[in-house]
Structure 1
Amino acid sequence: MWDVARAYVRSAKRLLGKREKGETGTETCEIAIDESMGVMGVGEIVQEAAREERGIEVDVKLVEKARADETMVEEFGVDISAARETLGWKVRESVAGAVRER
């Protein structure tokens, strides 16, 4: 979450800098973590954190195609190299770390 916020701030600063120079146009940078994790993986992290930190047992259940009009995919590839190169951005926190911090 904070990684995404940092990417937005860096992007806004870059845009303002280009604007001051009279440059226009758009750039696209994909922002994502470099962990390959599905919805159930995130659910299991939340479940574990709730048990360990709050003493709460949480049931996690995957509902197949909860939204009928969405396409289910096994992998969703994202290339964050433009964000690294253009914005000097990198991932700093893991999903588990972000869940436990909040």
Structure 2
Amino acid sequence: MKRFARPFAGVLLALMLAVTSLSMAVARGQAAPVGTMALCAGGVLQIVPVDADGQPTAPAHLCPDCALSLFVGLGEGFVLTAPQGVWLAAPAEARSSRSGGRVAPNAVARGPPSLV
């Protein structure tokens, strides 16, 4: 079953990308309305975009370049808190066993290289 699911998912994602990119291209290429007209009908205000002749046009698409900025105001930002330091005393048996280990190497110093 997994053998058929991956190619199907890939084709589905490719189709989704093709369809959404086409709608974004239409939104970018649509002419912007010249003005807006405010209509008050039944106590409800409705803004209608109009062209240069005053004829109503289709509602303007949301700018695809700025669409993701709408998610900014939906929730609180994630703020990292400072890590809390915790100090614990080592048990007595751990302190006494620290003396074991490798012996420190002897210091071997030499002078700067000679010019001769």
TM-score by length of 1: 0.22
Answer 1 or 2: which has greater strand percent.
2
Answer 1 or 2: which has greater helix percent.
1
TM-score by length of 2: 0.20
State the structure with more CA Rg. 2
